[in-house]
Amino acid sequence: MRDLLRFQPLYHERVWGGRALENLLGRRLPSNELIGESWEIVDRREAQSIVEGGALNGQSLHSILQRHGADVMGPKWPAAAPFPILVKWLDCRERLSLQVHPPAAVAAELGGQPKTENWYIAQTAPGAELIVGLKRGVTRAQFEAAVATNTVEECVHHFPVAAGDSILVHSGQVHAIDAGNLILEIQQNSDTTYRVYDWGRVGLDGQPRQLHLAQSLRSIDWTDFKPTPQRAAPTSGVIADSSEFCIRRVVLGAGERMHLRAGEQPRIVSVASGSVRVSSEGNGTRSPVGQKLVRGDNALAPYAGAFTFSAEQTTILLVTENFAG
């Protein structure tokens, strides 16, 4: 198991979605649908990534982990465990709902799962913002009153963003993505979201979407004021570091290379901009530089594989690691 694993995307229509994945990333989307999410790497009961290309073409990520878990994740990986990371593209044509994910301390009590996630802004419209955390000093009582009087915007922390910015959103942080953002979201493998407020919007069926106010109020961190994003930079460095995962931004000039050695840990490689050619090593030989990854692609580099990524132009890679325990 020394191949770089690539997967078929799973597209999801959302009331706030659009067609940016087609227009900006060159994807072929289902016609006449507002695609808000593309699940790039996922191992859940309700959604499975299927390998595209290579010796394991057509096999699910879950089945591969069951049969080749040690090669993909490392020798200590339990065969029954699901892949711990979920990777998504988000096309936010309209603002998403104000929401929160439950912290680990209360998730089991509420019947949900914690979710820490990182947003990398790949492209954004002029004036677009993110909402993460509370304005300084806002209390639970003030927030509840604002929900009842439709004045929630006065309680939450807004800030502008540009392409290349990112922010780590922890479980318990109230948050929303503003309209006009194309985002690569790398998160814990969880799909528990409590919707606090939906700006008076209706769903695709024309009905108001369900809110989860009691669960949200139980989950929100009432001490989380005005978190700051990581701003875009021309150099390599860590952009997210949590107990669940770490993400490195790797900036390569044309002709420069990034090497991943075998036997260290599994990693996810995401192309935020530019393109790379990939070669792999095995049994003392190196494969020719052939497989190409372009902007928008996400691939899983197994524990047992060694890979070299050669930039064809100025390229930004996001390398997600430290998720295998």
Tell me the pLDDT of the chain (325 aa) as tens digits: 679 999 999 999 999 999 999 999 999 999 999 999 999 999 999 999 999 999 999 999 999 999 999 999 999 999 889 999 999 999 999 999 999 999 999 999 999 999 999 999 999 999 999 999 999 999 999 999 999 999 999 999 999 999 999 999 999 999 999 999 999 999 999 999 999 999 988 888 889 899 999 999 999 999 999 999 999 999 999 999 999 999 999 999 999 999 999 999 999 999 999 999 999 876 554 555 569 999 999 999 999 999 999 999 999 999 999 999 8
pTM of model > 0.75: yes
Per-residue CA distances from 272 to 39, 48, 100, 121, 309 (Å): 16, 23, 26, 9, 14
Q: Determine the Cα–Cα distance for residues 177 and 119; give it in Å rounded to an integer.
A: 9
Catalytic residue among 195, 248, 249, 267: 195
Say if CB 261 and CB 285 are below 8 A apart: no
Say if CB 160 and CB 63 are below 8 A apart: no
Q: Partners of 281 in the beta sheet?
A: 286, 306
What is the DSSP secondary structure assignment for residue 153, as one 8-state letter?
G
Phi, psi for residue 18 in degrees, rounded to 5: -155, -145
- Token pair of 221 as six digits: 């961190």
Is residue 19 annotated as part of the catalytic site, yes or no?
no
Q: Which domains does the chain have, with CATH numbers?
A: 5-219 (2.60.120.10), 237-321 (2.60.120.10)
Q: Residue 239: count other Cβ atoms within 10 Å of its Cβ.
A: 22
Q: Which residues of 146-182 are buried (b: 16+ CB within 10 A; e: fewer)?
A: bbeeeebeebbbebebeebbbbbbbbbbbbbbbbbbb
